[in-house]
């Protein structure tokens, strides 16, 4: 190859053994081994392939089309912060022609959501994206999660919050006139949800959780006067492992909030998460294998029409 002498010279200057070189560019030392593939890569190659895989997911499933107003669900955590960073870059790089903005839900959890929203506000300024915040208090007649927990206790708090949050996200998207809501769900999240729905025997949700594009929350749509259908949602990062999202955030020095919700330690999802982590340690491909298994079962229960899938994002 024409560039081989240059690569050999660069390697000699750095005195890096061939076994430690990036397996993609073969020009600089690898800084990490990808959890998903085991491939040794440098920082630049890792970030590039991470972004290209997200673009492939978006294009393959036709998640967006030019001119759409897209709400990026922003919690301040690592997943949504990486989503904001990647979507901003891809929208410019591939000229998707999307009108992006941030949509956050304030559940009213003192010492958690109020702090994480400060992170969202900083990212809104950094990326130059408008921010819309909707709160449980304004949507549910003064009820916040702190108030719900005081009334009901910790036993079912995540169940209440999940229902309220999905509806709030839907209503916020409607108020902001969004055409699509993009969420930061990653491959680990999807695999966990597949397992949870299998264990609960919830076939309808099994089909929904593996679909890259789904209908929004119908309860939230019904709560808005004159609304005929829910705002569809998509998962641009559904093929990315959680570990790789953490690595991507680290290498890009992204500003995110990492404190766990004070009400989540007893959540049912936590048991599924521990199981997924355990099988991933034994077999790294198990996360994607679990998702594929869910996809194999999904056609048995999926609706005939997938909302929001219009045509491929312009690339």
Distance CA 140, CA 26 (A): 56
Q: Are strands 233-234 and 213-214 parallel, antiparallel or unpaired?
A: antiparallel
272 is in an annotated binding site: no
What's the pLDDT score for residue 4?
63
Whether 45 maps to a domain, the answer reads: no
216 is in an annotated binding site: no
Q: The tokens of 276 are what?
A: 């997924």
Distance CA 117, CA 186 (A): 21
Q: The tokens of 91 are what?
A: 């929208």
| Pair 91, 98: CB distance under 8 Å | yes
3 is in an annotated binding site: no
Identify the domain containing residue 207 by its residue range. Answer: 61-300
Whether 197 maps to a domain, the answer reads: yes
75 is in an annotated binding site: yes
Range of weakest confidence among 72-76, 212-216, 243-247: 212-216
What's the pLDDT score for residue 126?
97
Tens-place pLDDT, residues 7-60: 654 554 457 787 889 999 999 999 999 988 999 999 999 999 999 999 999 999
Whether 201 maps to a domain, the answer reads: yes
How long is the chain?
315
39: which DSSP letter? -
Whether 39 maps to a domain, the answer reads: no
Q: Give me the mean pLDDT over the 283-298 stretch.
A: 89
189 is in an annotated binding site: yes
Distance CA 134, CA 181 (A): 14
Residues ≥6 apart with Cβ < 8 Å to 171:
134, 139, 220, 223, 224
What's the pLDDT score for residue 226?
44
What's the pLDDT score for residue 147?
87
| Pair 39, 23: CB distance under 8 Å | yes
194 is in an annotated binding site: no
Tens-place pLDDT, residues 90-139: 999 999 999 999 999 998 888 888 889 999 999 999 999 999 999 998 98
Taking the alpha carbons at both ends of the chain, their separation in whole angstroms is 30
| Pair 148, 157: CB distance under 8 Å | yes
Whether 132 maps to a domain, the answer reads: yes
Q: Residue 279: give its domain's CATH number.
A: 3.40.50.620
Strand (E) positions, the chain?
A: 32-33, 40-41, 69-73, 99-106, 131-135, 180-182, 213-214, 233-234
| Pair 104, 117: CB distance under 8 Å | yes
Pairwise pLDDT comparison (194 vs 265), residue with the higher score: 194
Whether 46 maps to a domain, the answer reads: no
Whether 52 maps to a domain, the answer reads: no
Whether 12 maps to a domain, the answer reads: no
Rg (CA), the chain: 21
Burial of 153 (0-12, 13-18, 19+ CB in 10 A): exposed
The domain total for the chain is: 1
Pairwise pLDDT comparison (142 vs 224), residue with the higher score: 142
Summary count for the chain: helices (H), strands (E): 13, 8
184 is in an annotated binding site: yes
């Amino acid at each position: 190859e024409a560039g081989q002498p240059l690569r050999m010279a660069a390697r000699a200057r750095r005195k890096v053994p061939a076994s430690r070189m990036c397996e993609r560019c073969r020009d600089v030392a690898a800084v990490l081994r990808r959890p998903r593939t085991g491939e040794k890569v440098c920082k630049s190659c890792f970030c590039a392939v991470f972004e290209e895989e997200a673009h492939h997911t978006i294009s393959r499933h036709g998640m967006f089309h030019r001119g759409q107003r897209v709400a990026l669900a922003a919690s301040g955590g690592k997943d949504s912060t990486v989503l904001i960073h990647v979507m901003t870059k891809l929208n410019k790089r591939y000229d998707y022609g999307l009108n992006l903005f941030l949509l956050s839900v304030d559940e009213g959890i003192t010492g958690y959501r109020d702090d994480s929203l400060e992170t969202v506000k900083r990212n809104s300024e950094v990326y130059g994206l408008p921010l819309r915040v909707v709160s449980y208090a304004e949507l549910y007649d003064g009820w916040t999660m702190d108030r719900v927990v005081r009334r009901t206790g910790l036993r079912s708090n995540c169940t209440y919050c999940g229902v309220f949050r999905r509806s709030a996200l839907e209503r916020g998207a409607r108020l902001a006139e969004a055409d699509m809501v993009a969420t930061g769900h990653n491959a680990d999240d999807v695999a966990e949800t597949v397992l949870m729905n299998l264990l609960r025997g919830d076939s309808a949700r099994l089909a929904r959780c593996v679909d890259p594009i789904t209908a929004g929350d119908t309860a939230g749509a019904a709560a808005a006067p004159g609304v005929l259908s829910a705002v569809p949602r998509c998962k641009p990062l559904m093929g990315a492992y959680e570990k790789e999202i953490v690595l991507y955030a680290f290498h890009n020095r992204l500003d995110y909030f990492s404190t766990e919700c004070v009400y989540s330690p007893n959540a049912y999802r936590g048991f599924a998460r521990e199981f997924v982590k355990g099988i991933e340690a034994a077999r790294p491909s198990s996360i994607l294998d679990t998702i594929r298994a869910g996809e194999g079962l999904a056609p048995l229960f999926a609706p005939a029409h997938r909302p929001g899938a219009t045509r491929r994002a312009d690339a």
